[in-house]
Amino acid sequence: MRRILLSLILSLSIQQSLAVEIIHYKNVPVVITLTEGEERSIEFGDHVQVGVTKGQQQGDLFRVQSAQGFVHIRANKTFSAQRVQIKRLTDDRVILVDFVSEPRSAQSVANLEPVKIILDSENVAGGNTVDEAEAVVLDGAKGDPVVTPVELVRYVSQRLYGPSRLHKDVVGITETPLDIKKPVKIFKGEALYKTVSQPFVAYRGGAYHIAGIYIKNTSDSKLKLNYLELNIPFTTATFQHHVLQPNGIPGDATMLYLVSEEPLKNVLQPWTYYQELQQAEAAMLAEKK
């Protein structure tokens, strides 16, 4: 069953880059390139607030969302440098980013790997200072290896999408039993009634648990997935693709990588589609009376 499902996933036409571009922020604006019509994800290592100007909003230049320390920005058109202020909420540090949007091409889409911005005082990829990084290494030598959510997502994505010859074991990451046999409820809003979500694989790395959840569009219309419609607790969430084609058309399914500090059985809840649908219909009828 897993092999059949994996072949369906691999048949999706859009291929995602697994590399992460590391940018060291030294208190001068950094430039990040976007592609018209495509979304790019940027990690800041902390919960952030995004500041855009009134002109940027009125010009409908881009759509931007922030969740769990990531900013997801989609360019609606091409444009020259547009400065955006990103404020980290725990320490009030401000990061200035100049976004530039280029016309869509095969090369520009291929270059849209995720970005991780590291402050100069946190000059290691894990987001710690140098002294903290040394402490982490020592702690890891005594106990469990330190594994970040980003490393977990990259590992599982490579396992699902990469050729088997490139699969490499990572110390500290182990596959865990997937006790959930039935679809689960992970969305609210439109996606609740238009998708089926089935846990596919599960791993644990350090303090984190990750589930690879197969999501399929069951409707006859295109569906855009939104992080804000996830209705479960999580540390980070990453969609392999954000737009699902109508049911039965290539591209009607994707994978969600859900990272949590709790075991999956405490996070994932059974999917009660018909009960939810009946409740929604009853509520609509009550409103009409």
Task: Report the C-alpha gap between 21 and 42 in whole angstroms.
Answer: 9
CB count in 10 Å sphere of residue 215: 24
CATH number for the domain whose boundaries are 16-125: 2.60.40
Q: Looking at residue 129, what is its pLDDT?
A: 37
Among 47-51, 67-71, 81-85, the range with the most confident prediction by mean pLDDT is: 81-85
- Residue showing tokens 């809840």: 269
CB count in 10 Å sphere of residue 128: 18
Task: Report the C-alpha gap between 195 and 278 in whole angstroms.
Answer: 16
The amino acid sitting at 240 is Q
β-strands 115-119, 39-43 pairing:
parallel
* β-sheet bridge partners, residue 286: none
CB count in 10 Å sphere of residue 45: 20
101 close to 35: Cβ distance less than 8 angstroms: yes
pLDDT band at 278, cuts 50/70/90?
low
* All structural domains of the chain with their residue ranges: 16-125, 149-288
pLDDT tens per residue, range 71-128: 999 999 999 999 999 988 777 889 999 999 999 888 778 778 888 888 765 543 333 3
Among 29-38, 102-111, 138-147, 169-178, the range with the most confident prediction by mean pLDDT is: 29-38
Q: Is the pLDDT of residue 5 over 70?
A: no
Alpha helices in the chain (DSSP H): 2-10, 54-58, 106-110, 130-142, 149-161, 190-194, 264-267, 273-288
Q: Is the pLDDT of residue 253 over 70?
A: yes
* β-sheet bridge partners, residue 192: none
Q: Mean pLDDT throughout 193-199?
A: 88
Crossing angle of helices 2-10 and 149-161, in 10° steps, is 100
Contacts of 13 (CB under 8 A, 6+ apart): 250, 251
Contacts of 8 (CB under 8 A, 6+ apart): 253
pLDDT tens per residue, range 130-165: 334 333 333 444 455 678 888 888 888 888 877 777
* β-sheet bridge partners, residue 24: 118
CB count in 10 Å sphere of residue 235: 17
